[in-house]
């Protein structure tokens, strides 16, 4: 049924052995994800953001990677959707935010220009978790200046609850935090619609 739904409306799929293997794999990933945090199996890598004019690194985006004791390395494209479906993305996302702030606070600034750290947010973190309190706690614990944190949202998050999203984003910006929209152009938002939101940057897909 899920495979048919992913194929679009008025669709169907015949059952195959591969489907059974995929279901078993998803169940296993969900089970192992529940223990990944306590086993310290997650790692952050950082993708540099470079200013083309000065050719200096001005920021870095935190990228979550998982090396499971039971499954080995698992791609984010595979485990992140499952983490979102199960709600595990909320505690995992909090770990990412905490770790990114802690590590960024230790980064040197050889040019004298502080390097920003970008962290992706899930819709569940935004709407179900106490995001404002979590962000403030991470900044306080790491002593990272709020202006060095850039929170990245996806386009789909703007459509679900726009009024609530705008209020939360403005509160975050009042603390000095930057807000970016990730993968602009993959959804249906127009530039005129985006003007309702207090973004500092758009990341073009």
Q: Please tell me the predicted confidence (pLDDT) of residue 37.
A: 94
Residue pair 88/34 in contact (Cβ under 8 Å)? The answer is yes
* Across 36-40, 86-90, 102-106, 111-115, least confident range: 111-115
State the average pLDDT over residues 77-101: 95
Model confidence at 152: pLDDT above 70: yes
Residue with tokens 């310290």: 40
Looking up tokens 């386009």 gives 155
- In the predicted model, is pLDDT for residue 17 greater than 90? no
Across the chain, mean pLDDT equals 87
Task: Please report how many Cα atoms fall inside a 13 Å half-sphere around the Cα of residue 151, on the Cβ side.
Answer: 32
Q: Can you tell me the distance from the alpha carbon of 197 to that of 179, in angstroms, rounded to the nearest whole number?
A: 9
| Cβ-contact 94, 124 below 8 angstroms | no
Q: How far is CA 76 from the centre of its chain?
A: 11
How sure is the predictor about 160, in pLDDT bands with cuts at 50, 70 and 90? confident
53/196 Cα distance (integer angstroms): 30
Measured CA distances, 170 to 103, 133, 140, 142, 196 (Å): 26, 14, 19, 22, 11
- Residue-wise pLDDT for 161-189, tens only, equals 788 888 889 999 999 999 998 877 655 56
pTM of this structure: 0.84
Q: What is the pLDDT of residue 189?
A: 61
Q: Looking at residues 72-95, what average pLDDT do you find? A: 95
């Amino acid at each position: 049924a899920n495979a048919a739904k992913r194929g679009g409306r008025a669709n169907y799929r015949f059952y195959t052995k591969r489907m059974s293997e995929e279901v078993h794999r998803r169940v296993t990933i969900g089970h192992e994800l529940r223990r990944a945090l306590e086993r310290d199996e997650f790692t952050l890598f950082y993708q540099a953001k470079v200013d083309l004019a000065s050719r200096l690194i001005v920021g870095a985006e935190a990228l979550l990677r998982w090396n499971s004791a039971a499954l080995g390395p698992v791609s984010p494209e595979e485990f992140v959707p499952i983490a979102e479906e199960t709600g595990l993305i909320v505690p995992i996302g909090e770990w990412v935010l905490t770790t990114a702030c802690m590590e960024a606070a230790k980064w040197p600034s050889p040019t004298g220009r502080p390097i920003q750290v970008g962290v992706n947010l899930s819709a569940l973190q935004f709407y179900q978790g106490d995001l404002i309190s979590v962000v403030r706690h991470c900044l306080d614990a790491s002593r990272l200046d709020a202006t060095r944190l850039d929170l990245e949202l996806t386009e789909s998050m703007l459509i679900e609850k726009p009024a609530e999203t705008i209020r939360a984003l403005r509160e975050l910006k009042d603390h000095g935090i930057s807000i970016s929209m990730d993968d602009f152009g993959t959804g249906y938002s127009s530039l005129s619609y985006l003007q309702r939101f207090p973004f500092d940057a758009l990341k073009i897909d």
